[in-house]
Each structure stands twice: as C-alpha cells, then as structure tokens.
Amino acid sequence: MQYIFILFTIRIVWTNGQSSNFPDCKSGPLSSFPICNQSLPSRQRTVDLISRMTIMEKISHMITTADTIPRLGLPKYEWWSEALHGLGYSPGVLFGGDLPAATSFPMPINLGATFNMRLVHDIANIISTEARAFNNEGRAGLTFFTPNINIFRDPRWGRGQETPGEDPFLTSQYVYALIEGLQRGDDERYLKIAANCKHFDAYDLEDWNGTNRHHFDAKVTDQDLVETYLPSFKTCIQDAQVASIMCSYNSINGIPACAHQFLLETIARESFHLNGFVVSDCGAIGNILYTHHYTSTVEDTVAVALHAGTDLECGVFYLFHLYDALNSKTIVETDIDQSLMRTFDVLIRLGWFDPPEQQIYRQLNKNNVDTLEARELSLRSAQESIVLLKNVDQVLPLNINLLKNKKIALIGPTADATVTMQGIYHGQAPFLIDPVTGFKNLTAGNFINIEHARGCEISSHNEKDFAAAIKLARSSDIVFFFGGIDHTIEREGVDRKSIDLPDIQLTLIKQLEKVARSPLHIVIMSGGGVDLSYIRDSAQCASLLWIGYPGQSGGLGLATVVFGQYNPAGRLPVTIYPASYVNEVSMFDMQMRPASNNPGRTYKFYTGKAVYEFGYGLSYTTFNYTWNNNTIISLHSIQSLIENNHSFLRTIISLIRVNVTNTGNMAGDDVVLAYVTQPNTIDNQIVPFKQLFGFERIHLAINETKEVFFPFTIEAALAVTRDGSKWLYSGFYRIFIGQQQMFSIELRGQSTRLA
C-alpha cells in the first residue's frame, strides 16, 4: 500500500477523547439494541446491527474509511492503521499531543536475523500495547495491516525488508510469534488488536522491467504454491488465528488475487479456517478491471471480488459501484451483509461495543508508550539482529581500554543515518541514535576521538567529498566505512536492477584501503542482499558487519557490538547472491527450483556459489556441537507412524538432541539451526539441498554446555510433489546441525500420500 492512496479515500481526522472513538452503548441510540448486549453470541449481535442499516449505510462501511451513522450512534472508523515494526504513519495513526511518538523497532528482516521468536513476541506485545494507548486517545484504530509475510524470493524486491526472510519455516515461526503478541494479551475475552497477514498471495514484485505489481501475473506451480508461498499464511490463519488477511495487487495464474475464489474461499476460509475478514490492498479492486482486464464492467468487477470473498476495500471502488451492482442484480444485498458480518464481528471481538471500565486494554494511555522496557527492547533487538560476516584475526571487538588518545574515523553515507535506520512503514520515533552518536556516547570519557566524514552519497557519481574522507582516514588510527543502500534504492514500488554495492561506495573503499593505517572495518545497512564479495575477499578489509535497518537504537546497538559490550549472534535470513544472479533469472520467474533459465532460488535450491549463505554469521567466541545418538538414530516404519494417530503430521519421528558448548573466551549467544535433507530418489524430482525444520537461540557463559532439542516430525519430513500433494517417502533423511551432518534417519515401508 502506498500512501498515495490516501488521496483517493476519505481521510478521517481523529479527535481526542474516547467518546467520539467508540459507540456509546450506555446511553446512545444503540444502547437498547442487541449489539450492546454482551450476553448474546457475537453473530446475533452483528445480525441485528446490520438489519438496522440502510443499503447506503451498509455500502459506506464496505471501505476502510467507514463513515459515521449518527442515527445509530456509529462513529467513523478507519480500518487502515499500520504497525509493521512499531506504529507507522497511515490514515489511522496520528502522532501528536500527548502521544508524539511510538517505539520504532528494527525492520522485520532484522527480526528474522535474530532467530529469536521470544523476542519477536515481546516486540509485538509492546507494539499492541502502544497501539491500544493510541486508540484510547483517538489516535489510532484497532485494525492494523501488518505483518507482511510474503517470501523474500528475489534479492531485487524492494519490500523484502518488510519480511523476516527467504525461508517458509522461519517466516511461519515469525508470524506465529508476532500474531500471538499482537492479538493476545492479558484478557482472553478480547483481541488486543486485530492483525492482518499480507499479501495473499505470491506477491513479491514492485516494478521491474516495465511491469509493475498492478499488472503482474504471477505464474506459480502447485508445487511452489504449497511448498513456498502458502505455508506462512497457513500458520498465520490456521494456527495463529489472525483476524484478517489482505489480497494482493497481482494476479496468480491469470486470476487477480482479490477475485481469486479458490485462494480466498477454498484455501483461506475452507482449508485454513479463516475466522475474520479479507481486505483488498489499496486500489486492488479497481485493478481487476483496469489493469488486469479480468472483467469488462464495474458491476462484474464488484461481483467477482465480493463473491471471491473480498469483504472490505481499501479504496473507493465499492463505494462508487456496489449500488450499481445491486441494481444490475450481479450481486444481492445478502452478499454485502455477509461481508459486514465478518468485519463487525472483528470489532465485537475487539470490545468496540463493550463498556470501557471492564476492559483492561481500554485503560492503557500515554504512560504505556515509550516505556523503559520498550527502549531496552528496541536496543536488544538491534543488538541481536546484527550479523558479523567477517572478522580477520579477531580484530573485533575493539578494546576501549587500549584506545586512549586514538582517533577513529567513521566514513560513509550511513554513518550518520537516522530515519533511514527505521526502514519503511515507520512512524515517529521518540529518538534516533545514529552510529556516529552511538560511538561517541559509548566512548565518552575514554579520551577517544571519534570523527565523521560522509565521503559520498549512497548512489551517485559525485566524488567531491572524497578528499575530506581520505584526509580523515589518513590521519586516523582506525577507519570504519558505513555504506549499503537506502530507500531511494529499495522500497515499496521500487525494485532493484542491480544487487552490486553502488559503484561510488566501492570506489571510495578502494581509495580508503590505500591510505588507512590498518585494514578497514565495513558496516552495511540494507534490507535486501548486496554483493559483498570484494569486501569478503579483500585483505585490506578486516571486518564486515550487516546491520539491516536497526531501528531507533541502531547506532548504539552497533557500538556495543564493535566495542565488545555485546557479542553478535545474528544470522543471515537471506542468501547473499553474486551480482551476476540478476542476469541469470528473470524477476518474473516465480519458480523456486533450478531450470535452464533459472539457477534456483534461496538456500534450498540455488545451484550457484553464494557470497554468504542463509544462516551464516560469526561470533566473538566459538561453539562446539556434540551428540549422544548413533549416526543412524533408528529405523521407522512409515505405516506404524501414521496408523491410529489422528494428528499424525505432528507425530515425532525422532527427537534430535544436541549439546552446545561455548569453547571460547567470551559469553554469547549461539543460533542453532537444524536442517533436513530428504531422500534424493523421490520420483526423479528435484528435492531441496536442505530445509530448515528447527532453530533455537541460546545464551552460553564461557565453558557452559546446554542441550538443545529439535523434534523431527512427520510434517518436517514431507516432500511436496509437482501436483502439490505431500508425501512421506521411504529412504534416508540426513539431519544437519548448522553445517555438520549429525544424524541419519531411515524410513522403511510404502511411501504414502498424506495431504
């Protein structure tokens, strides 16, 4: 959703005070109606309310900016609020007055890099608390169009930073933890806020080679749909029980997503059991007619969207054309009623109609925003997300005690980044600690001279600032270069043509290498992968850190890592490809497996040599993995595993036990990753090189050992075949912990289709 769509919707201006923000069920027009009777089932309450609305009043509530109905005492309601990684600028969220800011956490790509789902849950809990405080002051809605759980399929995608990465299992774990934190709190009677999983489905292109997301038709095989594009949505809808989903701009196999009855009704509602509503991306209903040309009239467009299950529109197409569709009998009034049943039911579950005094969420206020806990969590999440990619001879961390009277140069276009650290879909942060400020604050009182020179812009051909940067580097004891990309290069609506580090930055790095007294330290800020092979291979670059978009405390988080107050343990949530990758595969190619014109996508199928692999990341300490099991853990009969077991998909085949020991000289976290490689004789199909089925982030003191458990279930062993069916095959399953093969499991018997 781009903010340009605000121009095409009726913007609500919230007023302070709860009276105009909620229906009055005490003394207002609704007070004597069933909608205000909490003892009744929500369906009965909703049916009665809808029955009292005129057709034009109903239509006015089919768009995200729902109008007031004074005679019923229904206030205006803006459905579109944002909270991707903190409350974000959107039609429903207003910063100001007693609530000038909200906590700005790192981008989701950073949170994926933490591999810490407890952290994700805690962040979501803070976000939903602040959202409720804003709502109680009339400065936000209760329905938030977050999270983005599309798979980061291609490094060129401008919105990949909004997601936790390229892996369906990681994304599924992320979305479960996030939705739990957003929607569920201390009062089981009510949703804390209503989340929205987007964009359903196979959406991961903005504008590439003359085709934008409004026109794109994603050609997706059943195998890829089931194996890659649907799992995160299944977890979101079926397991986490999200309150809503958003249908996307693109078509899937010739059918616009918001008109795709099979996806929205058969899969989301019937198979995944969606208990909530479907909202369109902003303007996507009009796309059905005007860009996809799937329909030929406005009436038919309304009908296919409504009959497919798109209940609510972000835009005004429904507002202008629902009545026309009724008159032409392409829809009937009960079609509208069904959609309103779903949206009003969510408002009931949020407590919108119930007395505030009985709801703990209605008591939250400005004192629950930007708390000490939230500030500490923003710093910790930045720290946990930083990935150390290179560290020659343990040149990092720097020892503050040995740097007295030394000069450290911070050079580059992201050294003083502030708003850029927030990523996209951000709001007003209470403060922004850029890297320069973070370094200065952390070294204050230690007689260390921290100086900054920009050197160059993110992407330009102007070398006018080179001289000052080179002069500073020549006179400094230690030189850091801060580079990467920003939202002029990757954002909503903008995909990349190249995944190279911008030429101007590489040119400056090479010149700095010639004059610096010691090898350079490189810090990269980006959401998508950048080819860092020059830095990886250069003897003049001693260390390399990726920091994503680390949020309000990003600069301080980085400084604590550089100076050894925090031991980095982030792992890459994406594959970093060589620059040549963009010439080997079209962004329009949705296929994950390698083919004659596709080298394969993600760590599961990429046949080339990655610059850095998914899951890669270093530490200041070392870890050793041991296990007590034999190489072949056990033999299992497929039939005995699934017989007489109604929840056989979750049946544990083997419990993988790994002992992890900190063998270095510094306490720190380790991210233990568990992969499985399936039998390579599965019906002559290409199977993943490996696939993630478990991970755990643990903290270990020096010489400490902890045992980590990974249940290897039938679900983790399933292979998806060309027709989208799931099979449990006989053969050997190899289990890897990190890069080490530790176990083999043999399944015997007849291969069986399970889904």
Joined together, the tokens standing for residue 60 give 């006015």
Phi and psi angles of residue 187, each rounded to the nearest 5 degrees, phi first: -125, 105
Helix (H, G, I), strand (E, B), or coil: what is residue 262?
helix
Nearest-angstrom CA–CA distance, 415 and 496: 23
Q: What is the C-alpha separation between 158 and 256, in angstroms, rounded?
A: 21
> Exposed, middle or buried: residue 488 (CB in 10 Å: 0-12, 13-18, 19+)?
exposed
Rounded Cα distance between 344 and 143, Å, is 12
Tell which residue, 688, 134, 160, 592, has the closest CA to residue 369: 134
Distance (Å, whole) CA 526 – CA 60: 41
CA 437 to chain centroid, in Å, comes to: 28
Distance CA 276, CA 537 (A): 51
Contacts of 551 (CB under 8 A, 6+ apart): 85, 86, 104, 105, 106, 107, 110, 378, 381, 382, 421, 422, 423, 429
Q: What is the DSSP string of 91-145?
A: TTB--BTTB-----PPPHHHHHHHT-HHHHHHHHHHHHHHHHHHHHTTSS-SBB-
Q: Given 217, 281, 370, 500, which residue is catalytic?
A: 281
Alpha-carbon Rg for the chain in angstroms = 27
Structure-token match 């890099």, residue found: 113
**Active-site residue flag, 589:** no
Q: Classify strands 740-748 and 632-637 as parallel, antiparallel or unpaired.
A: parallel
CB 107 within 8 A of CB 548: yes
Which residues touch 175 (CB under 8 Å, ≥6 apart)? 147, 149, 197, 232, 235, 236, 240
Q: Are 708 and 672 in contact (CB under 8 A)?
A: yes
- Closest-CA residue to 516 (of 526, 506, 508, 528): 508
Known catalytic residues are 281
